[in-house]
Structure 1
Amino acid sequence: MINKITRSLFFLLFVNISFAQVDVVYNDLVWSDEFDANGAINATNWFHQTQIPSGGSWYNGEDQHYTNEITNSYVNGGFLNIVAKKEPYTSQGVTKQYTSARLNSKFAFKYGRVDVRAKLPIEAGTWPAIWMLGKNINEPGGFFNATHGTTSWPACGEIDIMEHGITPSQNINYIQSALHTPSSFGNTVNHGGTLANNLGTDFHVYSMNWSPNQITFLLDGVAFYTYNPAVKTLSNWPFDLEQYLLLNIAMGGVAGTIDPSFTQSAMVIDYVRVYQNITVDTQIPTNFTATVGNVTSSSVELLLNANDDSGSVVYDVAYGSLTNSTIGTSGVQKSFVITGLSPNTNYTFSVAASDVTGNEASNNSIILNATTLGVTACSGSDSVAQQGTFSIGYNYEFETIGTDVKITFEMLDTDRVGLVAILWKQSPFTETQMTYVSGRIFTHTITGQTIGATINYAVKFAYANGFSVTRYISYVVGSNCALNQDSFNEFTDFTYSNPANNYITINTTSQIDKVEIYNLLGNKIISQSTNTNEIEVASLSDGVYLMVVYSGNRKGIKKVIIN
């Protein structure tokens, strides 16, 4: 017990420093299991989920039975042992050759931090996981199903705090965290990973910090992936309801072939702890200000500031039918960039400030107006590398803003860990660290350029155990490769389906004469002058395109996503 307390105090000191990487710090321990009583698991805290889903097998082609046998889950010497074993076992009329355990916490919560200190099985075919599901999932056999099961997966939301063994292309010490939502599930695009030392022999602390604005994953107190969609919908953010914890080891399936010599292995867990902030906060944010910062053809920067005793301020920005949220530090100006806007368009933003408890500033809401600039940019995609290699490639964009050029590169390869980007100027050669935007997107703005001059830049993407360098891209400052601009008045009084799948449907009371679709290289790929309210795009690859809509002497240009 003394050793566990000593470890806990050390980790708390560590956390106080490193959790500055998250948006909300949670301080109050509200639920935990320290696994101090030898024998069976604490039935007050945990439930054995053993019922096989319909079809006679667990999901993802797994090969194990989950049991409530003490040989598969037990406490000894201050540690929970979840043990996967090779042994024939018959249950519910089905015989399988492996057993394991899947535990549901009987505690569910909304928002907070989870810390789990554990060491993992790393044998081929093992799939240890520390994760969460919405309390409302209608999964037969789950602890909350009978009382709260109203929602199917993935609409209930799934938060994978730690998974190991399902990324065979990665280093043996690679762990992954992921989110499953209606917008992306199964082989989800919403994931991040990192490397740890000696996963099979050393304990590490796997953490998840969940606020109303974002979910951040940490290894030993260091953040490595954050999920924070700017515009939150039911499709991409089902994370505003209670979730519960799951601990398990699966065998085989997507974890790959089980080692023929496998006999048994365990995930050993020192503790599971959940933190929230339970002190009632009644103080409202003060000194709330909001102004417009940098404006481009597709983005508007809002400069936000307020004070609050909690140390954090939530800013909600509404424009049109959309609402974006971000969290800033009390008393520190927050730069919040609204992206994906249309060029040459006036936007009205309504900005409100509150604390994480929901107390609102007295001067809500502040109204701001900004007009985006016209597009003067060139963009494209490539996979050519002058050093290293790209398996998929990269996107790039050069945008002239006054006498500045904003350079943006996006790495499309998804199998690179610890990604950073360094901008290379060809002549004279210089290197500049680029600013991380989101996902795998990085940007840097070079100032004081001469209109008409040609500049040449590449990007070095550095990552764990290597790097890849793009080819040099030439750009004429002030040039516009996207579309040729003709003399038309602006046309804005229409809406359209976005994202679109097989068809783009345009809604307007005006007569549409013609619709054109361009790729981001400026190439016209669709031109339609009949039946112009419904454009078939089934033949187009997934991606972002520019749609030009003509009505008389008016023309409207909008971005559209095809998926």
Structure 2
Amino acid sequence: MKKNTLQMLFAFFLASQCCFAQVDVVYNDLVWSDEFDGNGAINSNNWFHQTQLPAGGNWYNNEAQHYTNLETNSFVDAGCLNIVAKKESYTNQGFTKQYTSARLNSKFAFKYGRIDVRAKIPVEAGTWPAIWMLGKNVNEDGGYFDAAYGTSNWPACGEIDIMEHGITRSKPINYIQSAMHTPSSYGSTTNVGGTEANSDIANNYHIYSMNWSPNQISFLLDNVVYYTYNPAVKDASTWPFDKEQYLLLNIAMGGVAGTISPDFVESSMVIDYVRVYQNTTADTQAPTNFTATLGSVTGSSVELLLNATDNSGTVAYDVTYGAETASVSFASGVQKSLVITNLSPNTGYTFSVSASDLSGNVSVNNPIVVNATTTENKTTECGGTDSAASQNSFSVGYNYAFETTGTDVKITFELLDTDKSGVVAYLWKETPFGEMAMTNVSGNIFTKTITGQTVGSTIGYAVKFAYSGGLSVTKYFSYVVGSSCALGLESSNESKQFYYPNPVENKLYLQLLDDQNKITMTNIVGQKLVDETVKSSHTLDMSTFESGIYFLKVNNSHGIQNIKIMKK
């Protein structure tokens, strides 16, 4: 569609400012586009009709359509591209199908940048419209780049689904989904995110965007990020996104999208424009407003609060302390917390912090020096409930627990948020950084045992909860291997109150000091199993409890006492 150049630049400026703190790299230079000016056939310099059926005569996922190069299935009209799915009998390549549509490949491929597609999306039952990308090296007969570059099978080539509709039938109409397919997760991939548009996507234009940097891939609806893919370990299995990809536009019928409505006649995806941005000019602007201040301090960690702004959208921070170093990248203009762990208690440290952008431009006030002295390491965190996040946020929070057996540490987290679905969890090691999948115990309870730890050493871990629509990461917890914090006594009445036998098989006998005693018992992830007021002599039936560790808290006029109970 014919656009006023000034309006286009102003609109992109607004989008860039809106997303400045949301994406890690802001791409400014328009390098390829199709505004779909004129009427009639699509621009063959920009697009290729992919029509060749896969082996077996059917498109993937049990889809029901033929893709054609007919102008009735793809054409430009009134400044917009129309991709039209139709109910009609059509024979091609020796196969007759009852639906036709179009599948367009861009003849342009690129590595790193941003795509904006302004479109109206069909929502009829059984339609599966998609805006997506494949590696230029995909081995797929009939694809535009296959003959010259097709050396990798799917999913080794990598697939980026910018927008799909109709395949998440449990979600309302106007819910769009993005997904990543890699050798580490494909098909029913766990790497998905989605959001619901704030207005009808069939009758209103929305901007569907993907921002791709060497560090992460973010998905936006109307310039708001709703999902980011950023695996901790980037290799051929998780990150085949270090090579060029090209764009695909199509409407599939049936298959994963479900039963096609018997009343279906035809429906269109109407695309106003497709624009690709990269940074083609050298970045010479250094970060500004750089600050580094001291946050919380424990016996084994120091928190540094970092902030700076940069035109690229990302600031890299390098920290030196003694012979050690730490590096991290954060979004521009957003204060972030960097926790330095594995420090010695009651020790002074000097941290030298520098800021730069990804092009190597350095802040004029580098370095900033922050001094801190760790506290005496009297306590560690063994278990409890929290809601603090190091990435995104929690609507309720989570339970956490650390338990040492020999030289193994069992780490258990439970997500308490009730507004998350499709939850999976990954344990994040703080130093050196690493990510490990956790095992689902039940509900949203996940556990992971790390082996071969040194008793008395301090370890730091957080948990990433990934779910439909995004992810949230807990804060990092420091734990001293071998600690059993729940045995800490908050009053001096331990010798006067008795709990036996411990370990217990069926019945736990309590001899308490008051006639009225408030008792609670929780499991290792903080779930409350007992909460009652009892007499001085009380028998607690634990015959139905599973074997494991439980925490008994007694509150009376003599104080509070915490006891770890072992159930055989």
Structure 1 length as normaliser, TM-score? 0.62
Paired position in structure 2 for 1:279: 281
Q: Taking structure 1 as reference, are residues 194 and 2 closer, same or farther at Cα in structure 2, changes over 3 Å only? A: same
Among candidates 396, 399, 418, match of residue 399 of structure 2: 396
* 1:69-119 deviations in Å (ceiling 9; x for gaps): 111111011000001111122222222111111111111111111111100
Q: Taking structure 1 as reference, are residues 520 and 80 closer, same or farther at Cα in structure 2, changes over 3 Å only? A: farther
**Partners of 2:523 and 2:549 within 8 A in 1:** no
Alignment of 1:76-95 (within 5 A): 76-95=77-96
Paired position in structure 1 for 2:329: 326
Q: Taking structure 1 as reference, are residues 209 and 397 closer, same or farther at Cα in structure 2, changes over 3 Å only? A: same
Paired position in structure 2 for 1:121: 122
**Partners of 1:132 and 1:243 within 8 A in 2:** yes
Paired position in structure 2 for 1:253: 255
Tell me if 1:153 matches 2:158: no
Paired position in structure 2 for 1:558: none
Paired position in structure 1 for 2:383: 378
Q: Taking structure 1 as reference, are residues 444 and 350 closer, same or farther at Cα in structure 2, changes over 3 Å only? A: closer
* 1:208-262 deviations in Å (ceiling 9; x for gaps): 1112222221111122112222333332222222211110000000000011111
Structure 1 residue 300, shift from structure 2 partner? 7.7
Identity %: 61
What amino acid does structure 2 have at the position aligned with 1:313? V
Q: Taking structure 1 as reference, are residues 237 and 299 closer, same or farther at Cα in structure 2, changes over 3 Å only? A: farther
Paired position in structure 2 for 1:28: 29
Paired position in structure 1 for 2:269: 267
**Partners of 2:301 and 2:374 within 8 A in 1:** no
Tell me, in whole angstroms, the C-alpha distance in 1 between the residues paired with 2:330 and 2:239.
16
What amino acid does structure 1 have at the position aligned with 2:85? A
Paired position in structure 1 for 2:47: 46
What amino acid does structure 2 have at the position aligned with 1:125? G
1:11 aligned counterpart, secondary structure: helix
1:95 aligned counterpart, secondary structure: strand
User: How many residues in Structure 1 have an aligned counterpart in Structure 2?
Assistant: 423
Tell me if 1:12 matches 2:12: yes
Alignment of 1:75-474 (within 5 A): 75-196=76-197, 197-282=199-284, 303-304=305-306, 310=312, 312-315=314-317, 326-329=329-332, 334-336=336-338, 355-357=357-359, 376-378=381-383, 396-397=399-400, 409=415, 411=417, 414-415=420-421, 439-441=470-472, 452=490
Tell me, in whole angstroms, the C-alpha distance in 2 between the residues paired with 1:323 and 1:185.
33
2:19 aligned counterpart, secondary structure: helix
1:199 aligned counterpart, secondary structure: coil
Tell me, in whole angstroms, the C-alpha distance in 1 between the residues paired with 2:46 and 2:136.
15
Q: Taking structure 1 as reference, are residues 165 and 324 closer, same or farther at Cα in structure 2, changes over 3 Å only? A: farther
Structure 1 residue 299, shift from structure 2 partner? 8.7
What amino acid does structure 2 have at the position aligned with 1:86? K
**Partners of 2:57 and 2:95 within 8 A in 1:** yes
Structure with the greater alpha carbon radius of gyration:
2
* 1:297-329 deviations in Å (ceiling 9; x for gaps): 9998565566766453235899xxx99853342
Q: Taking structure 1 as reference, are residues 257 and 315 closer, same or farther at Cα in structure 2, changes over 3 Å only? A: farther
* 1:55-75 deviations in Å (ceiling 9; x for gaps): 221111111111111111110
**Partners of 1:213 and 1:325 within 8 A in 2:** no
What amino acid does structure 1 have at the position aligned with 2:15? V
What amino acid does structure 2 have at the position aligned with 1:233? D
Tell me, in whole angstroms, the C-alpha distance in 2 between the residues paired with 1:102 and 1:5.
30
**Partners of 1:301 and 1:336 within 8 A in 2:** yes
Structure 1 residue 267, shift from structure 2 partner? 0.2
Tell me, in whole angstroms, the C-alpha distance in 1 between the residues paired with 2:319 and 2:89.
57
Structure 1 residue 28, shift from structure 2 partner? 1.1
1:265 aligned counterpart, secondary structure: strand
Q: Taking structure 1 as reference, are residues 282 and 173 closer, same or farther at Cα in structure 2, changes over 3 Å only? A: closer
Q: Taking structure 1 as reference, are residues 115 and 343 closer, same or farther at Cα in structure 2, changes over 3 Å only? A: same
1:150 aligned counterpart, secondary structure: coil
What amino acid does structure 1 have at the position aligned with 2:17? I
**Partners of 1:231 and 1:325 within 8 A in 2:** no
Stretches of structure 1 lacking an aligned partner (at least 5 in a row) = 381-392, 401-406, 418-434, 454-473, 483-518, 524-563
1:75 aligned counterpart, secondary structure: strand
Tell me, in whole angstroms, the C-alpha distance in 1 between the residues paired with 2:273 and 2:91.
31
**Partners of 1:37 and 1:78 within 8 A in 2:** yes
Structure 1 residue 415, shift from structure 2 partner? 3.9
Q: Taking structure 1 as reference, are residues 309 and 109 closer, same or farther at Cα in structure 2, changes over 3 Å only? A: same
Structure 1 residue 27, shift from structure 2 partner? 1.3
Paired position in structure 2 for 1:59: 60
Stretches of structure 2 lacking an aligned partner (at least 5 in a row) = 346-350, 386-395, 404-412, 424-462, 477-487, 492-517, 526-545, 551-568
**Partners of 2:300 and 2:374 within 8 A in 1:** no
1:254 aligned counterpart, secondary structure: helix
What amino acid does structure 2 have at the position aligned with 1:329? S
1:60 aligned counterpart, secondary structure: helix
**Partners of 2:314 and 2:329 within 8 A in 1:** no
* 1:150-182 deviations in Å (ceiling 9; x for gaps): 222222221111100001111111111111122
